[in-house]
Structure 1
């Protein structure tokens, strides 16, 4: 990114604070912990309720571990990770890791969860093709794109009784109470929340994914995690008054 581009990036606005319930929807265990967990720790400390919904159990994420053996390991790591930041509800949809398909089934599953949890804020994950706003940036994974896009669409589906009427028949009444969708890891962030109050628990939360991290890097896990999370928060903070922060792209409803 050029110096000129950095200088013209707009400041990030504070995230809305007038909500009580959130549902975070991602593809894999560890997606929320790579940066967003510090914000979630801060929110749950303030008495807000956050639930997690994962499309897969991350069973294809460790090359040296067969998916049948990997799934329970990664599920256990995710539940422990969520507990560190005050999240009690962790649900898995059992779509296949690595080959999630955007479509009606995925939209229906997410819409059903939104109707069950009835959140005011839905937290999603980067649904764009790359991890950078610059041309030639690192390519995103198909799972992230599919789940991220389906999450945006499912918010509307959850509020319309004539889309997926079988959900109403199952006792899941429409929910039109989502006020915002906040996309973590976005290449075009608009808002942020301070990472400082929840940073240490964010680090501990990501460290719960030890089997995954040890397969991902040869570095000492705590050194790797701390450097990654604090460095990312510091860079985000350059657009948030110098305060280390977690950024989101906010879609008002």
Structure 2
């Protein structure tokens, strides 16, 4: 069992490019955009890769209408924290299949963007206790951990090399946001306000999720999360990650 008082290590800093891979619009904003803001402030390149457009996430909006709406909101949200490249894979929201097609798509993106750091969201069955995780999160998180290795193996998905995507064995870490067993953290002080504004860009989703004022909801949620990590990071509000080295 992880010691809940053990201090978290600072995230590795000797990298220039990161690829963040998640299932839906807003996954990164709920999970780690304050860290992304800090990284882009330092001149690091961060690219977002989303498996879906979140088209099945709003009960009151038909998926055909929701998909372009949520894509626009995600691009605006990413821009708030300094991310200009947002890529969508066109898997179907809610029914992402964990398998070779998903691994291949993520492997292709890793080879294209050549990150040293790959970021994803909690891939485990629960969020801790009995809070069950979604199939999409589990599938994308697990496929991302696998693809970090696939990207460097020329015998796995050789068809990618035929498309000009040569193997990339430069991924050094996969950092999982939203883990209940974190190992590292990033100071959220400088990026916290921008993380609030970034999540707020997902207004169409948030307005059906809560009866609270959207900005108050975003600020309360993200501030509480960051403060919840502080005791394990020298008293500083932070974003935590479980880091898998490679």
SS at match of 1:222: helix
Q: Which residue of the partner structure matches residue 187 of structure 1? A: 180
Measured in 2, the distance between the counterparts of 1:239 and 1:138 equals: 23
State the partner residue of 2:224: 231
2:211 aligns with: 218
**Where has structure 1 moved over 4 Å in runs of 4 or more?**
5-8
Q: Is the 8 A contact 1:59 1:67 kept in 2?
A: yes
The alignment covers a number of residue pairs equal to 246
**CA distance in 1: counterparts of 2:3 and 2:152, whole angstroms:** 40
CA distance in 2, matches of 1:6, 1:12: 11
User: Unaligned regions of 5+ residues in structure 2, if any?
Assistant: none
Alignment correspondent of 1:103: 99
Q: Which residue of 1 aligns with 2:236?
A: 243
Give the whole-Å Cα distance in 2 for the aligned partners of 1:61 and 1:101: 17
Residue 89 of structure 2 corresponds to which residue in structure 1?
Answer: 93
Give the corresponding residue for 1:74: 70
The 1-side partners of 2:26 and 2:138 are apart by 16
Q: Structure 1 residues 177 and 6 mapped into 2: Cα distance closer, same or farther (>3 Å)?
A: closer
Q: Distance in 1 between matches of 2:231 and 2:203?
A: 30
Give the drift of 1:238: 1.2
TM-score by length of 2: 0.98
Mapped pair 1:141 → 2:137: no
Is the contact made by 2:120 and 2:144 (CA closer than 8 Å) also made in structure 1? yes
Corresponding residue of 1:60: 56
Whether the aligned pair in 2 keeps the contact of 1:184 and 1:249 (CA below 8 Å) is yes
Contact in 2 for aligned 1:26/1:55 (Cα 8 Å) = yes
SS of match in other structure, 1:34: helix
Q: In structure 2, what is the equivalent of residue 173 of structure 1?
A: 166
What's the Cα RMSD here?
1.1
**Structure 1 unaligned regions, length at least 5:** none
1:33 and 1:174 mapped to 2: Cα distance? 30
TM-score, normalised with respect to structure 1:
0.95
Residue 7 of structure 1: how far off its partner (Å): 7.0
CA shift, 1:9, in A, is 3.4
Please state how far the C-alpha of 1:35 moved relative to its aligned partner. Answer: 3.2
Task: State the match for 1:36 in structure 2.
Answer: 32
